[in-house]
A and B are shown apart, each in its own frame.
Chain A
Amino acid sequence: MRKQTEGRSVQYARLPPGAYEFKIFAGDEDGRRSPPLRSIHFTIQKPCWNTWWFYLLVGFVSLAMFYGVVSLRVRAIRRTAREKNRINKKMAELELQALQSQMNPHFVFNALGAIQFFIRNTEIEMADDYLAKFGLLMRLFLESSKNKFIPLADEIRLIQLYIKLEKIRFEDRFDVSYEIDDELVDSYTLIPSLLFQPFVENAINHGLFHKKEKGYLSFAIKEAEEALICIIEDNGIGRERATELKQKSTKNYKSRGTQIVKERLEVLEKMTDLSIAIKTEDCFPGRDEPGTRVIIEIPFLE
């Protein structure tokens, strides 16, 4: 590459990498040239991004990053799977507990005791009727425990049957009234299974059981904005006294029915984003026997 200049400097832009020899000649206007006055050897290095080790480094780093991303992702997937697994396991456990609390041994054996009475008393029809109802109720309990959600109509059938059996056993010591929105029942609305019965059981066995006079139980299903409302009311002795009595009679007594419901709903919320609100209050605050009102609000399922 030859360049002529009259000045004292010369510039070569963008010399590709390689080994060079820089020679200086002097020349005159006629084109004659002196022998080289001076010769300088120099090398232009390849730029660092053009070297083999750089390629290797880039290759290695990108491989490492790829590996990192993949393993992070795998770990995240594993973690969600584990979490899901844990929730499912917890749910299964709670479902079992819910079933166990529904098939409350006290209820079961007392029911069988009542059947024994009808048999010995030769009330064949009563015995038959009670036994058939009891069998059906057990079947409904088992069936509903298999599914996380059941049609509202099925749950109501279960509740009515349960109350009927308890009424026979308690010899009509309480009256019951239903207020049920038929349209809602007909519309195949799904609700979480095993939800209402523990609260009804509490109303009867803890609220009304200890009441001296005839008690009263009300069960209502209504539609509110975007939600189904279930209200269970009793004019029993109230939560405070019921707890007192329980603790007095047997120290280690635990009624976990409603506690299990609450835990199940929490897990259900994690699984399905369905948030169910349960509110408990006195029906007649300040009275000697304030009763209990439970309000359960279930947003409609898609």
Chain B
Amino acid sequence: MYKGIIVDDEPKAIKLLQDMLHQYCPEIAITGTANNTDIAFDLISMKNPDILFLDIAMPRESGFDLLERLPKLDFEIIFVTGFDEYALQAIKFCALGYVVKPIQVAELVKAVNNAKRVVSLKDSHLANRQLLKILKEPGNKKNRIGIPIASGIEFMPTEQIVHCEGVKGCTKIFLQNGTSIISSYNLGEFIKLLKDYDFYTPHKSHLVNMDHIQRYHREGIIEMSNNSKVPVSRRRRQAFLDLMRQQELGE
């Protein structure tokens, strides 16, 4: 059994989630619910949950504010939100769990299963802290992006990613230290997640870190800092050159 806590300002939303968990994830025992962040603070401190179901937009204090106040964040979080593009972007960046309202059963089960798997690894603290940092400093190139790989989640500062290549629905990520990792996310996910971090898509299956571009060859090849070569598609060459010129002027 896993201990769960639900925090949401709408009692209706709490009851709904409780019902759904009871029916579809019976291995989660809800040990407490809170409809404001003050109660939630005490409840979490007392009960040491494995999984926290947390609403983001709440009166006076958001879900993120609550996390900020808590001394220990050693539990898995599944965010439950109506609509919050900005927050979802940060949550996905850290590879944390979330479900959107109205809640889809399949999504909920998936998020819970994921959380259960990670609880045993005992490193939730890191990812949760990471999220708070990203919310404070979006776009900081030292921010670590959570990359789901076969054995778990790898956290990598965006500045260490040289370039990414989409391969059969997965993504191969080339790192500064010469190694590479393969993620089950497709390239499109990375394009969205890294859009505030000076990445560019020169080709439909390539994403490059602008800071790692070494030189550009006239025939449409970018040479990266790790000496690998990335093609620029014919139609994007002009736009790419314009962007490079703009960056030079900016610096």
A133 vs chain B, min Cβ distance (A): 16
Which of the candidate stretches B6-14, B123-131, B169-177, B227-235 sits at the interface with the other chain? Answer: B6-14
Give CA–CA (A253, B12) in the complex, Å. 26
The listed residue (B19, B20, B83, B138) touching A251 by CB distance below 8 A is B138
The listed residue (B19, B59, B103) touching A209 by CB distance below 8 A is B59
Which of the candidate stretches A22-30, A76-84, A88-96, A111-119 sits at the interface with the other chain? Answer: A111-119
Interface residue ranges of A84-137 to B (CB < 8 Å)? 105-106, 108-110, 112-117, 120-121
Give CA–CA (A221, B82) in the complex, Å. 33
- Whether B20 and A109, one on each chain, are in contact in the complex, defined by CB atoms closer than 8 angstroms, is no
Give CA–CA (A105, B11) in the complex, Å. 21
Q: Within 8 Å of chain A (Cβ to Cβ): is B191?
A: no
CB neighbours of A170 from chain B (8 A): 10
B70 vs chain A, min Cβ distance (A): 16
Q: Which single residue of chain A is at the shortest CB-CB distance from B101?
A: A113
Task: Contacts A109-B101, A250-B62 given; indicate if A117 touches B82 (C-beta within 8 A).
Answer: no
CB neighbours of B12 from chain A (8 A): 114, 117, 169, 171
The listed residue (B62, B84, B103, B136) touching A113 by CB distance below 8 A is B103
Q: Within 8 Å of chain A (Cβ to Cβ): is B87?
A: yes
Mask, A236-257, CB within 8 Å of B = 1, is: 0000000001001111110000
User: What's the tally of chain B residues with a CB closer than 8 Å to chain A?
Assistant: 27
Give CA–CA (A71, B168) in the complex, Å. 62
Q: Within 8 Å of chain A (Cβ to Cβ): is B15?
A: yes
What is the total of A-B residue contacts with beta carbons within 8 Å?
73
Task: Contacts A109-B82, A115-B102, A210-B60 given; indicate if A250 touches B87 (C-beta within 8 A).
Answer: yes
A156 vs chain B, min Cβ distance (A): 27
Mask, B24-35, CB within 8 Å of A = 1, is: 000000000000
CB neighbours of A245 from chain B (8 A): 60
CB neighbours of B136 from chain A (8 A): 251
The listed residue (A116, A211, A252) touching B102 by CB distance below 8 A is A116
- Whether A251 and B103, one on each chain, are in contact in the complex, defined by CB atoms closer than 8 angstroms, is no
Task: Contacts A121-B19, A252-B138, A253-B86 given; indicate if A113 touches B13 (C-beta within 8 A).
Answer: yes
- Whether A110 and B101, one on each chain, are in contact in the complex, defined by CB atoms closer than 8 angstroms, is yes
B23 vs chain A, min Cβ distance (A): 9
Task: Contacts A106-B82, A110-B82, A113-B102 given; indicate if A251 touches B16 (C-beta within 8 A).
Answer: no
Q: Which single residue of chain A is at the shortest CB-CB distance from B14?
A: A117
Interface residue ranges of A237-279 to B (CB < 8 Å)? 245, 248-253
The listed residue (A115, A171, A211, A250) touching B135 by CB distance below 8 A is A250
B146 vs chain A, min Cβ distance (A): 20
- Whether B57 and A120, one on each chain, are in contact in the complex, defined by CB atoms closer than 8 angstroms, is no
CB neighbours of A249 from chain B (8 A): 57, 61-62, 64-65
CB neighbours of B15 from chain A (8 A): 117, 121
Give CA–CA (A252, B84) in the complex, Å. 11
Q: Which single residue of chain B is at the shortest CB-CB distance from A109?
A: B82
- Whether B20 and A120, one on each chain, are in contact in the complex, defined by CB atoms closer than 8 angstroms, is yes
CB neighbours of A248 from chain B (8 A): 62, 65
Give CA–CA (A20, B136) in the complex, Å. 105
Q: Within 8 Å of chain A (Cβ to Cβ): is B118?
A: no
CB neighbours of A112 from chain B (8 A): 101-102
- Whether B84 and A106, one on each chain, are in contact in the complex, defined by CB atoms closer than 8 angstroms, is yes
CB neighbours of B20 from chain A (8 A): 120
Q: Within 8 Å of chain A (Cβ to Cβ): is B193?
A: no
Give CA–CA (A1, B149) in the complex, Å. 123
The listed residue (B19, B64, B87) touching A120 by CB distance below 8 A is B19
The listed residue (A106, A116, A212) touching B16 by CB distance below 8 A is A116
Give CA–CA (A252, B86) in the complex, Å. 8
8 tightest A-B contacts by CB?
A: A113-B101, A249-B62, A105-B83, A116-B102, A109-B82, A117-B16, A110-B82, A117-B12
Further contacts, 19 of them, CB under 8 A, given A121-B15, A211-B59: A105-B83, A106-B82, A109-B101, A109-B102, A110-B82, A112-B102, A113-B16, A113-B82, A116-B16, A116-B101, A116-B102, A117-B15, A210-B60, A245-B60, A249-B61, A250-B62, A250-B84, A251-B86, A251-B138
Residues on A close to B: CB < 8 A? 105-106, 108-110, 112-117, 120-121, 169-171, 209-212, 245, 248-253
Can you report 19 residue pairs joining A to B where beta carbons are below 8 Å apart? A105-B82, A106-B84, A109-B100, A110-B83, A113-B13, A113-B82, A115-B102, A117-B12, A121-B16, A169-B10, A209-B59, A210-B59, A212-B59, A248-B62, A248-B65, A250-B135, A251-B86, A252-B86, A253-B86
